[in-house]
Amino acid sequence: MDKMSYGKSYLTTDPLVKYVTEHSIRHTDVQKRLMEETQKHRSVGMMGAPEVLQLNANLIQAIGAKKVLDVGVFTGASALAAALVLPADGQVHALDVSKEYTDIGKSFWRDAGVSDKIEVHIAPAADTLQKFIDEGQAGTFDFAFIDADKGSYDLYYEQCLLLLRRGGIISFDNTLWSGSVIDESNQTPDTVAIRNLNKKLKDDHRINISFLSIADGLTLCFVK
């Protein structure tokens, strides 16, 4: 077999991807309901893949994270997955420009009993991250999931590198960008931004790296 299929599990019918998710995804009832609700949304394809959100949650638990950045919230699936595994004094800072999207998640966060663990910041994410830096919160965050506008990924990376502690993890979604990263005829700004970031991360020795070909590509940066 020389062809491998990638893509978010809820968007593909690939039998092997289906097999993997059937044998690994552990959703709570509220997570299932939030996914079903989001699947009715016109922008459903923006929702984080369950296999990615579960990996993030496992990493958050493994490193004993308490402070999490969720950069790009949409209907709140990634914030919910993170909040569910945080201790009682843990906090997800959920950053998005859209109150309309984030409001969809709020009743699900409440039903899951994690509302107190999710603080929403409605503003361009770069402004909120800069505010955290200016407030002296550098080095105090444990985990960041970056899943907002692709053109700003590099800026978010530099800001999150400041905000995370050593041993923290930055998780970048969509780093395969539907495969367009290897199609040099594709020069859209988002594709170029992700391609440039991928090149930069490969040789950036401030981090250790794992580039995973799951869902739409997930790059994990382990801060040194």
Q: Which of 24, 98, 196, 213 binds ligand SAM (CB under 6 A)?
A: 98
| Residues 74-93 contacting ligand SAM, CB under 6 A | 74, 77-78
Q: Residue 180's CB: how many other CB atoms inside 10 A?
A: 17
Please say whether the beta carbons of 167 and 180 come within 8 A: no
Task: Indicate whether 95 belongs to the interface with ligand SAM (CB under 6 A).
Answer: yes
Task: Indicate whether 124 belongs to the interface with ligand SAM (CB under 6 A).
Answer: yes
156-171 in b/e burial notation, b at 16+ Cβ within 10 A? Answer: bbebbbebbeeebbbb
Q: Give min distance, CB of 144 to ligand SAM, in A.
A: 11
Q: Which of 30, 47, 86, 144 binds ligand SAM (CB under 6 A)?
A: 47
Task: Indicate whether 51 belongs to the interface with ligand SAM (CB under 6 A).
Answer: no
State how far the alpha carbon of 128 is from the alpha carbons of 72, 133, 140, 208, in Å: 12, 9, 15, 26
Report the SS3 class of residue 150: helix
Task: Indicate whether 48 belongs to the interface with ligand SAM (CB under 6 A).
Answer: yes
| Residues 53-72 contacting ligand SAM, CB under 6 A | 53, 72
Q: Give min distance, CB of 205 to ligand SAM, in A.
A: 28
User: For ligand SAM, what does the binding mask look like between residues 132 and 151, x meaning CB under 6 A?
Assistant: ---------------xxx--
Beta strand segments in the chain, E = 67-71, 91-96, 118-122, 141-146, 164-173, 207-212, 218-223
Task: Indicate whether 37 belongs to the interface with ligand SAM (CB under 6 A).
Answer: no
Vertex 206, ends 118 and 84: CA angle to 5°? Answer: 20
83-101 in b/e burial notation, b at 16+ Cβ within 10 A? Answer: bbbbeeebbbbbbbbeeeb
Task: Indicate whether 96 belongs to the interface with ligand SAM (CB under 6 A).
Answer: yes
Nearer to ligand SAM, 86 or 125 (CB): 125
Q: Give min distance, CB of 209 to ligand SAM, in A.
A: 21
Number of residues that bind ligand SAM (CB under 6 A): 20
Strands 207-212 and 218-223: antiparallel
Residue listed under structure tokens 């945080």? 86
- Which residues are at the interface with ligand SAM (CB under 6 A)? 46-48, 53, 72-74, 77-78, 95-98, 101, 124-125, 147-149, 152
